[in-house]
Amino acid sequence: MGILVDEHSRILVQGITGQEGSFHARACRAYGTQVVAGVTPGKGGQLFDEEVPVFDSVAEAVKETGADVSLIFVPPPFAADAIVESADAGVPLIACITEGIPVQDMVKVGRYLQDMPTRLIGPNCPGLINPGARCKIGIMPGDIHLPGRVGVVSRSGTLTYEAVGQLTDLDIGQSSCVGIGGDPIIGSSFVDVLRLFQEDPETDLVVFIGEIGGTMEQEAAAYIEEEFTKPLCALIVGATAPPGKRMGHAGAIITGESARAESKIQALREAGATIIPTPADIGSTAQKVLTGG
């Protein structure tokens, strides 16, 4: 079953005629995803790969194709407007891959989406995938995924791929994998995704990958302790990062005691999570929890 997307999801790609958008739109289609439309202002009426219609606006694309997911590959200065355009068109799920969107822009987007029935994944994320449904909304390599019953949620795109690779090598399939993004302000939090995994009858265990910066992991720990009933393996990276220095992601910066890896690990351990010692132990730790070893 998985979460958020399935074989019926109909995807439009904003920025489909650009270099990144076209490359990943083709990869999504090759995986099996229903890419039904593209949006590039000024290029409406064209066909992408001789099959996918391109529209000047998201509203047109939704009206003509029934698209219900937007995948955004729009340059940072224009990405916030692209998110708002999809929300205004009634798209219920948006995945924004764009990195480098100004924080001030995302503050405005966050406020704008508060009272709207739209879920945003990202920005600065790899997107999401449901291997069983052959539906890939993002930039992750589809061939490393295996259908199964383990959910993956991560702030890091690269570590999402690493986790999936290790799980697949051990013949442990995934129900869905979601990269929530590494910026200080993102659409969906760990708690938002964990709630979906909690409700998914085909997810038996969750692999959770957090990092230094912010308090999202502590908020997730509180939710896990109070409501989450499934086993969860957690990895927190960035333990050796010096205070005040940003490490990779814009949100990965230690700005207080709660932002440190040690504080996050302690909170998750106390909530009942099984702590993954190092990135190399993701698969083996999940296997032990699944088998009761």
Taking only the tens place, the pLDDT of each residue in 72-89 is 999 999 999 999 999 999
Residue 275: strand pairing partners: 234
For the chain, state the CA radius of gyration: 19
Q: What is the mean pLDDT of residues 244-270?
A: 69
- Best-predicted range by mean pLDDT (123-132, 211-220, 245-254): 123-132
Question: What end-to-end distance do the CA atoms of the chain give, in Å?
Answer: 27
Q: Is 290 exposed, middle or buried (0-12, 13-18, 19+ CB in 10 A)?
A: middle
The residue extents of the domains of the chain are: 10-121, 140-291
Whether the pTM exceeds 0.75: the reply is: yes
- Helix (H/G/I), strand (E/B), else coil: 30: helix
254 band by pLDDT with thresholds 50, 70 and 90: very low
Annotation says 8 is catalytic:
no
Pick the CATH number of 140-291 from 3.40.50.261, 3.30.450.20, 3.40.50.720, 3.40.50.300: 3.40.50.261
- Helix (H/G/I), strand (E/B), else coil: 127: strand
Q: What is the mean pLDDT of residues 142-167?
A: 97
- Helix (H/G/I), strand (E/B), else coil: 289: helix
Q: Where are the alpha helices (DSSP H) in 130-176?
A: 157-169
Percent of the chain with pLDDT over 90: 88
> How many CB atoms are closer than 10 A to CB 57?
16
Q: What is the mean pLDDT of residues 222-228?
A: 98
For residue 162, pLDDT over 70 is answered with yes
List own/partner pairs for 285-288 with CB under 8 A and 24 or more apart: 285/233, 286/150, 286/167, 286/170, 286/172, 286/205, 286/207, 286/233, 287/170, 287/172
Question: 10-121 and 140-291: same fold?
Answer: yes
Pairing relationship of beta strands 119-121 and 69-72 according to DSSP bridges: unpaired
Give per-residue pLDDT as tens, 262-290: 899 999 999 999 999 999 999 999 999 99
Q: Which pLDDT belongs to residue 138? A: 98
> Mean pLDDT for the chain?
93
Architecture in CATH for domain 10-121 = 3-Layer(aba) Sandwich (3.40)
